[in-house]
Amino acid sequence: MSLSRRAILAAPAILAARPLLAQGTNFPSRAVRMVVPYTPGGVSDITARLIAEPLAAQWGYPVPVENRAGADGIIGTDVIAKSAPDGHTLGLVSVGHPVNAAFYRLPYDTMKDFSFVTLTTRTPLVIVASKGFAASTPAELVARAKSGGAGGQVTFAGTGGVVRLAPVLFAQRAGIELTYVPYRGSTQAHPDLMAGRVDIMFDTVPAALPHIQSGAFKALATTGAERAPQLPDVPTLGEAFMPGFEASTWGMVIGPANIPQPVLAKLSADCGAAVMRPDIAARHANLGAAVTRSTPEETRRFVQAELDKWGDAARKAGIQPQSA
């Protein structure tokens, strides 16, 4: 029996499509490891462990979570970048993924060396000040910084990453100068903020909330697109003073570059569905994080926008990438 000319011409395309179809329908074929480039206990680590259970049940293979901390997440992220692009190695990263490009010379390209699966969480920051600080609103803060003289100098506690760059971006857009005071972490900065030795801090809502509730801190504004559920009476910075300003920490599932499209689509759908489960959403709400999901293309565009925003703020502030 002879084949038609049309069948002969179509055969190469059919054969070329078969590997992708097979990978899409047969994925996964073994355990899928989830690399978390941070120490255990943070939101990224908790998210990874919460979604690993339903994913393992759905896929029929274990989803072990592997903490590969070090160098502000760079070590673990490099492990993800250099893994086989078959979907069996994923990572759960934070806003540090694009922000690190502003501070470090990286062993990978923030965009080109990764597949972007889905966003998982968004957590706004809150601008807090000591209870004795003269300003109680963003407008009063800016007026104080513009007043000149020693009384106009405003210091901010920064712990690296977006917690350092968010006040830098705010100052640039407001046309003021803020003096950076470095700290290794929030717990080191909080006592000095309470005592008035530093004026303000952009911190995560969960970290600052106990001190706001106790009255040790006052909240000037939050930095999300919407008000934080834990602080319903505190306006967003966009509402109160600076429309369009947004700065959040977030979580995201990524993988190495060049994961086949059918596999990437399945990963995005399955991981997104897992994080949106009511029980998992409730656990994140207790942490001060809102769950979310996105398509691979939406996720890629989001990371590019974050990379551009924080990179531009760092360059204008004269921050030069250093060796990791």
- Domain boundaries, given as residue ranges, for the chain: 31-122+248-323, 124-240
pLDDT of res. 160: 87
- pLDDT score of 16 more than 90: no
Q: Per residue in 105-139, pLDDT tens?
A: 999 999 999 999 999 999 999 999 999 999 999 99
Beta strands at 248-256 and 290-291: parallel, antiparallel or unpaired: unpaired
Which residues, in sequence order, are CB contacts of 304 under 8 Å at separation 6+? 111
Residue indicated by tokens 């030069």: 320
Q: For residue 248, how many C-alpha atoms fall within 13 Å in the half-sphere facing its CB?
A: 24
Alpha carbon distances (Å) from 179 to 42, 150, 163, 186, 293: 28, 12, 14, 17, 36
Q: Give domain 124-240's CATH number out of 3.20.20.70, 3.40.190.10, 1.20.1560.10, 3.30.1360.120.
A: 3.40.190.10
Q: Per residue in 22-74, pLDDT tens?
A: 344 589 999 999 999 999 999 999 999 999 999 999 999 999 999 999 999 99
pLDDT of res. 46: 96
Q: What is the pTM of this model?
A: 0.88
Question: Do the beta carbons of residue 96 and residue 251 sit within 8 Å?
Answer: no
Q: Do domains 31-122+248-323 and 124-240 have the same CATH topology?
A: yes
Q: Which CATH superfamily is domain 31-122+248-323 in?
A: Bordetella uptake gene, domain 1 (3.40.190.150)
